[in-house]
């Protein structure tokens, strides 16, 4: 009865759904997301034989397994290998060459989605390791979506993600991935350095400080209040002198944080 469900998505119901999304994810939606919410939630209501969005929201509010299902459905997990070349040029040609290879480098891929960013980082770290045999690194990828994390841990990709990767970095794909038809699988040598876990960016992360934090294309989904809260949590996890990398459409200068602008996409925490 998907059509019936859609007919019942009144303005009041839509407002309640938007509030529920914000409650569980921090994401700020508006009435223009009506079609998106219906497209993602409608099939779930039909699968559960629930006749109205109000009853489904009651099910989510009751807690239990449906909360994670709801979170997975309303969050967007779109990422690619080596997305935004300027960011990867900075890491490969500026950040890593100036890193003290005697120190273990800790990197946080926040909102890691299906893992392409974390594995891209691991590939560049492996390249650096070849030139500096004593180098050690650890990468932590986190996301609020259990479905995305499952895909990240599997490290198997196909479609647009692989096509873009093949076009931009064919040598790295051949070196660090195993191909089977149209699908690739990340090699174990990368996986041993990458750990994935569930985390809500509005909450504290129980981890040691990081030297590099990737927080790309995330803040655009939050209102200013939650942007500030996310950045407060991120700053607590940054070691002195650490770098923060943002997305193409994001800037935190107006938010008045303690982080200093370094160049496009890049901010740093004072070393003191």
Question: For residues 197 and 150, what is the distance between their CA atoms, to the nearest angstrom?
Answer: 10
CA 193 to chain centre: 18
Contact present, 252 and 264 (Cβ < 8 Å): no
Total count of residues recorded for the chain: 272
Catalytic-residue membership of 40:
yes
The single residue of 72, 83, 106, 143 carrying the catalytic annotation is 143
Look at phi and psi of residue 30 and say left if phi exceeds 0, alpha if psi is from -120 to 50, else beta: beta
Residues labelled as active-site residues: 40, 143
């Amino acid at each position: 009865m998907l059509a019936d469900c859609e007919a019942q998505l009144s303005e009041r119901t839509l407002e309640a759904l938007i509030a529920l999304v914000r409650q569980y994810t921090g994401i700020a939606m508006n009435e223009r997301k009506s079609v998106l919410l219906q497209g993602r939630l409608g099939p779930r209501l039909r699968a559960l034989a629930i006749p109205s969005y109000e009853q489904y929201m009651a099910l989510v509010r009751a807690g239990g397994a449906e909360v994670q299902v709801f979170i997975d459905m309303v969050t967007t997990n779109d990422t690619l290998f080596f997305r935004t070349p300027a960011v990867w040029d900075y890491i490969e040609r500026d950040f890593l060459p100036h890193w003290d290879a005697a120190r273990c480098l800790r990197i946080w891929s926040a909102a890691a989605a299906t893992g392409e960013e974390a594995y891209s980082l691991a590939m560049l770290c492996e390249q650096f390791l070849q030139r500096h045999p004593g180098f050690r690194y650890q990468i932590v990828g986190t996301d609020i979506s259990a479905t995305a994390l499952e895909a990240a841990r599997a490290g198997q990709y196909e479609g647009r993600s692989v096509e873009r990767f093949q076009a931009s970095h064919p040598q790295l794909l051949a070196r660090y991935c195993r191909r089977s038809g149209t699908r690739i699988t990340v090699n174990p040598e990368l996986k041993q350095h990458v750990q994935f876990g569930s985390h809500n960016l509005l909450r504290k992360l129980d981890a040691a400080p990081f030297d590099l934090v990737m927080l790309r294309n995330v803040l655009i989904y939050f209102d200013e209040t939650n942007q500030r809260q996310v950045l407060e949590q991120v700053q607590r996890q940054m070691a002195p002198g650490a770098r923060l990398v943002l997305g193409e459409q994001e800037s935190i200068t107006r938010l008045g944080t303690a982080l200093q602008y370094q160049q496009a996409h890049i901010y740093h925490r004072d070393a003191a």
